[in-house]
Structure 1
Amino acid sequence: MPVSIIRDKKKIVSLTMERSSSMKLISDRLKNGEKPIGTFLNLGSQTAAECVAIAGMDYFIVDLEHSPFGLAEAADCIRMAKLKGISPLVRIPEISRANILKHLDVGAEGIIIPGLKTREEAEKIVEYGKYTPLGSRGFCPTRVCEFGYGDAFANGILEYTRKTNEETMLIPQCETLECLADIENIVSVEGISGIFIGPFDLSLAMGIPAQFDRPEFKEAITKVLTVCHEKNKPVFIFAPNKETARLRLEQGFDSVTVNGDLNVMTEAYMEIVKSIRA
Structure 2
Amino acid sequence: MKIPKNEFMAGLLSGNVQYGLWAGFATGYAAEIAASTGFDWLLIDGEHAPNTVPAILAQLQAVAPYDSAPVVRTVNHDPSLIKQLLDVGAQTLMVPMVENAEQAKALVRAMRYPPHGMRGVGGGLVRATRWDGVDDYLAHAHEELCLVVQVESPRGIENVEEIAATEGVDAVFVGPADLSVGMGQPGNPGHPDVQAAIAHAIKAVQEAGKPVGILAPAEADARRYQSMGCQFIAVGIDISLLRQAALETIARYKDGTSAATVSSTY
| Cα displacement string for residues 161-190 of structure 1 (whole angstroms, at most 9, x for unaligned residues) | 454313211111111111111111111111
CA RMSD, 1 decimal: 1.9
1:144 maps onto 2:121 in alignment? no
User: Residue in 2 aligned with 1:75?
Assistant: 57
Percent identity reads 27
1:245 maps onto 2:227 in alignment? no
Does the C-alpha gap of structure 1 residues 204 and 136 become closer, same or farther in structure 2, counting only changes over 3 Å? same
SS in 1 for 2:236: strand
- Which ranges in structure 1 are unaligned for 5 or more consecutive residues? 1-12, 14-18
In the aligned structure 2, how far is the partner of 1:45 from the partner of 1:94? 21
Residue among 161, 176, 179 paired with 1:199: 176
Does the C-alpha gap of structure 1 residues 267 and 186 become closer, same or farther in structure 2, counting only changes over 3 Å? same
Q: Count the aligned residue pairs.
A: 251
SS in 2 for 1:264: helix
User: Residue in 2 aligned with 1:106?
Assistant: 88
Name the TM-score, length of structure 2 as normaliser.
0.88
| Cα displacement string for residues 129-168 of structure 1 (whole angstroms, at most 9, x for unaligned residues) | 123454222222321231112xx31xxx2xx445431321
User: Residue in 2 aligned with 1:16?
Assistant: none
Residue among 101, 116, 125 paired with 2:107: 125
In the aligned structure 1, how far is the partner of 2:138 from the partner of 2:201? 30
User: Residue in 2 aligned with 1:54?
Assistant: 36
Query: Where do 4+ consecutive residues of structure 1 move more than 3 Å?
Result: 160-163
1:32 maps onto 2:9 in alignment? no
In the aligned structure 1, how far is the partner of 2:46 from the partner of 2:69? 17
Q: Is the 8 A contact 1:24 1:86 kept in 2?
A: no
In the aligned structure 1, how far is the partner of 2:232 from the partner of 2:194? 19
What is the CA-CA distance between 1:201 and the residue it aligns to? 0.5
Q: Is the 8 A contact 1:106 1:143 kept in 2?
A: yes
| Cα displacement string for residues 33-81 of structure 1 (whole angstroms, at most 9, x for unaligned residues) | 1211111111111111111111101111111111223111100000112
In the aligned structure 2, how far is the partner of 1:66 from the partner of 1:192? 23
Q: Is the 8 A contact 2:9 2:146 kept in 1?
A: yes
User: Residue in 2 aligned with 1:45?
Assistant: 27
Q: Is the 8 A contact 1:64 1:90 kept in 2?
A: yes
In the aligned structure 2, how far is the partner of 1:185 from the partner of 1:205? 20
Does the C-alpha gap of structure 1 residues 243 and 54 become closer, same or farther in structure 2, counting only changes over 3 Å? farther
Does the C-alpha gap of structure 1 residues 133 and 231 become closer, same or farther in structure 2, counting only changes over 3 Å? farther
User: Residue in 1 aligned with 2:46?
Assistant: 64
SS in 2 for 1:60: strand
- The aligned amino acid for 1:71 is V
In the aligned structure 2, how far is the partner of 1:114 from the partner of 1:60? 16
Structure having the higher Rg: 1
Does the C-alpha gap of structure 1 residues 140 and 174 become closer, same or farther in structure 2, counting only changes over 3 Å? same
User: Residue in 1 aligned with 2:264?
Assistant: none
In the aligned structure 2, how far is the partner of 1:219 from the partner of 1:199? 11
Name the TM-score, length of structure 1 as normaliser.
0.84
SS in 1 for 2:131: helix
